[in-house]
Amino acid sequence: TTLMKNSVVERLSIVGTRSNDPVAFALAEMLKVNTTLKSLNVESNFITGAGVLSLIESLQKNTTLQELKIDNQSQPLGNKVEMEIASMLEKNTTLLKFGYHFTQQGPRLRGSNAMMNNNDLGGSLRTCQSSPMFVMQFLFWFAGTGMGRCGRVGLCFQSCNRNETC
């Protein structure tokens, strides 16, 4: 597809377009080679668990996608698919935002932890590539979780203002 060779489009949204598994499979193939796309939103479509898994699996070869939204498909994905999604999210280190409401607590916790690890400034954001506003929002969100890690975020935020690495 044209998006495989894309060097311009950073955000693609096909929300509510009646897209189905063949579209998801094509997008997954594109994600394996595309190095420009940063955000993909396929919410509110007809993609089944197989299509969603193909998208998630493609993230193992993609290092530029930072946001993926897959919520509100016409059919529930099911427990097995949710467990596989959580497992694949744990292996990915570049995705920063994942839009899906897990129905099971186990995969929900694992997915949440994976996203938190990716957003942790000790991880992939160490180079302070995110905007100061994002880091500030992250700081306030983290402070509200009671997890006691906002100090590290605050220190990195100060370093980012001086264009240094954290």
Question: Residue 62 belongs to a domain with what CATH number?
Answer: 3.80.10.10
**The total number of structural domains that make up the chain:** 2
Q: Are residues 42 and 66 in the same domain?
A: yes
Q: Are residues 95 and 140 in the same domain?
A: no
pTM exceeding the 0.75 threshold for the entire prediction:
no
Q: Are residues 97 and 134 in the same domain?
A: no
Question: What range defines the domain where residue 159 resides?
Answer: 123-166
Summarize pLDDT for 99-148 with one digit per residue, the tens: 999 999 999 999 999 999 999 844 444 444 444 444 444 444 444 444 44
Q: Are residues 64 and 138 in the same domain?
A: no
Summarize pLDDT for 3-24 with one digit per residue, the tens: 888 889 999 999 999 999 999 9
CA 92, 101, 137: angle at the middle one, nearest 5?
A: 70
Q: Are residues 15 and 67 in the same domain?
A: yes
Q: What does residue 162 show for φ and ψ, rounded to 5 degrees?
A: -100, 10
